Structure 1
C-alpha cells in the first residue's frame, strides 16, 4: 500500500514482511541504508534503532519495534519495522492501530510530513499502552487490599507476578522512548513545536511516570511482605520454643517414671500417682509464670485479629 498523505503530500508505504518483494520500488532504491534495512525486514526479532543519513545527506531513522508482548509466553509478541525520513515513511507489519481507517486518514491528513505521521502512530500505540496500564492499576489495587485481608504465600506469588508484568510494560516502553529521543536528536524542522510531537511526548512521559510509581508501590508491597514474613517466622519459632519449655516438666517426669529400673521407691507410694500429677501441674504452672513474668510470651497466646498484619 502506497499513499500520498497530508498537507505536503508526504509518502507512506505499508508492507507485509511475509508477502513483500524486496525489489519493490522506492524513491531511495539502491541506497545502502535502505538496502540494509530491507534485508533485515522479517529477520529482526528484537528492538533495534539506527540514526544515519542517506547518500543524498537526508537524515533517516530506521529499525524495529516490539509493541506487544504476552505476559506468559516469551515468544508471543508483535513487532513492526519502520524507515523514516522527513518526506517518506515505510512501515512493515504495522497492525498497532485500533481506530478505523477513516478516522486514521482524517488524522493523517493534518500532518505536515512523514515524521508527524510516524509520531501519530507512536501516539496511538502509547494510547493503547495506557489502556493496558489502567487495567494493570485495577489488578494492583485488588492486590494491595488482598495483602491486608489474607496474607499468605499465594499473595506473595501474585505480588511477584504483578512485578513481572510491570517489567514487561517497561521493557516495551523504553524502546518507544528511545525512538522519540532519536527524532528529537535529528531535530527535524517544525517537529518539536507540533501537536503530534507534543502529544506523543506527553503520553510517553505519562506512561513512564505511572510505571515508575507502580514500581514503587510493588516494591513497598514486597518490603511489607518480607517484614510480615520475617515477623511471623520469628513468632512461630518463639511459640515453639515457649511451648517446648512449658511442657518440659511433663516430658521430664514422664521420662523419669517411665524407666524400668527395679528399685524405684515412688512406685510403691500409696499416693504416688496423685503426687506425680500435682508435681507436674505445679512445676508447669511455675515455669509458665516465670516465662510470662519475664515477658517472653509476648502476644503468642492471643488470637490473630482479622485484617491485622501482626496482631
Structure 2
C-alpha cells in the first residue's frame, strides 16, 4: 500500500497469529481478536485517542442467502490512521467488479480509510445490481396481478416483501458504518470524493428500497380491496339468491302441511297452479330487487384484464 498497510486474514490464520511468537502489530488488539471468533452479527465500535487518533472496528454482513437465514457472509474490520485489517473478506463474491482494478485503486489510496471506502463502494455497486434484478421481479409481479390475479399471487407478493426486509437488514448496518466513518474521521473526509460517492450510493440504495416498499404496500392494499369487493359480491349474490327462492320455500312449507282439510288437495290443476304461483312469486321478488338496484352486475363473470368485472 501507499504509506499504509492492509492485512487480509481468515479466522484460521488469526488463530495461528495469536499462537505464534512472532511480533505483529495486530496482536496488540487481542480483545478484538478474541471477539472475532464469537461474533456472527453486525456491530460497530468507534474510539478516539487524546492525540486525535481514531479506531474503527466491527463486523458487517455483506452477503445473505434470501432463502436461508443461516447462510450468510460476514467480515470483520479494524481501521486506524495507518492500517486496515479485514478478516474473512471474500472478494470473489464481488461478481460484477473488476477485482484487479479494485485492488489497484486500493493500493494507490493515500490513507487506509480511502482503501476501506473503495471496498464499501464496490460492495454497494454489487448491491445495486442485485436490487435492479429485484426491480424486474417486482415489475413482473405487478403485471401478473393485472393479467391474471389469483390467490397464489399473494405468496409471490409476500416473498417480494420478505426480500425487501432482507435488503433493509443488509443496507441499514452499512449506512451505520458509513456514518461511523464520518464520525471517526470527519476531519480528513473534507472534499473526499470516494466518501461522497459512497454516501450517495448508499443513499440511492436506501431510496430504492423505500420506494419499492411503497409499491409492495400499494399492491397489498390493492389485493385487499379486490378481495373485499369480491367477498362482498359473493355475499350479495347469496343474499339475492336466498331472497329469490324464499317464495318457493314459503309456498312449499304451506303446501307441505298434513292437515286433513286442505282445499288445494282437490284441485284438478293444483300442481300446475302451484308451480305458476311459485314462479310468479320468484319473478316478482327479482323484479323488486332489480328496481331497488340491489342486484347490480354481481351475477356477471369476471372479464380478462379487469379487477372488478
**Structures share fold, TM-score greater than 0.5:** yes
Q: Is the 8 A contact 1:184 1:192 kept in 2?
A: no
CA distance in 2, matches of 1:39, 1:54: 22
CA distance in 2, matches of 1:147, 1:229: 13
Larger CA deviation: 64-73 vs 188-197:
188-197
Please name the residue that 1:48 is paired with: 43
CA distance in 2, matches of 1:71, 1:53: 37
Q: Gapped runs of 5+ residues in structure 2?
A: none
Please give the residue correspondences for 1:81-160 in structure 2 after superposition, counting only pairs within 5 Å. 81-96=76-91, 97-98=94-95, 99=97, 101-160=99-158
DSSP 3-state at the match of 2:14: coil
CA distance in 2, matches of 1:205, 1:273: 80
**Is 1:288 aligned with 2:282?**
no
Deviation of residue 277 (structure 1)?
A: 0.9
Deviation of residue 75 (structure 1)?
A: 1.1
CA deviation string 1:31-87 (max 9, x = no partner): xxx222111113111110000136976201100111112222121111110001121
DSSP 3-state at the match of 2:242: helix
Deviation of residue 262 (structure 1)?
A: 3.8
Please name the residue that 1:270 is paired with: 268
**Is 1:80 aligned with 2:75?**
yes
Please name the residue that 1:253 is paired with: 251
Deviation of residue 189 (structure 1)?
A: 4.5
Deviation of residue 29 (structure 1)?
A: 3.5
Please give the residue correspondences for 1:13-52 in structure 2 after superposition, counting only pairs within 5 Å. 13-21=7-15, 22-23=17-18, 25-27=23-25, 29-30=27-28, 34-52=29-47
Taking structure 1 as the reference length, what is the TM-score of the superposition?
0.91
User: Structure 1's 135 and 62: CA in aligned 2 closer, same or farther, altered over 3 A?
Assistant: same
CA distance in 2, matches of 1:261, 1:121: 95
Which is helix-richer, 1 or 2? 2
Q: Is the 8 A contact 1:192 1:198 kept in 2?
A: no
User: Structure 1's 110 and 45: CA in aligned 2 closer, same or farther, altered over 3 A?
Assistant: same
Give me the CA root mean square deviation.
1.9
Taking structure 2 as the reference length, what is the TM-score of the superposition?
0.92
Deviation of residue 104 (structure 1)?
A: 2.6
Deviation of residue 227 (structure 1)?
A: 1.2
Pairs aligned (count): 302
CA deviation string 1:166-199 (max 9, x = no partner): 0110110000010100111123544342222122
Please name the residue that 1:234 is paired with: 232
Larger CA deviation: 198-207 vs 97-106:
97-106
- Aligned partner (choices 201, 204, 208) of residue 203 of structure 1: 201
Deviation of residue 92 (structure 1)?
A: 0.4
Please name the residue that 1:12 is paired with: 6
Moved over 6 A (4+): none
User: Structure 1's 76 and 262: CA in aligned 2 closer, same or farther, altered over 3 A?
Assistant: farther
DSSP 3-state at the match of 2:25: coil
CA distance in 1, matches of 2:189, 2:4: 15
DSSP 3-state at the match of 1:250: helix
Q: Is the 8 A contact 1:49 1:63 kept in 2?
A: yes
CA distance in 2, matches of 1:283, 1:247: 9
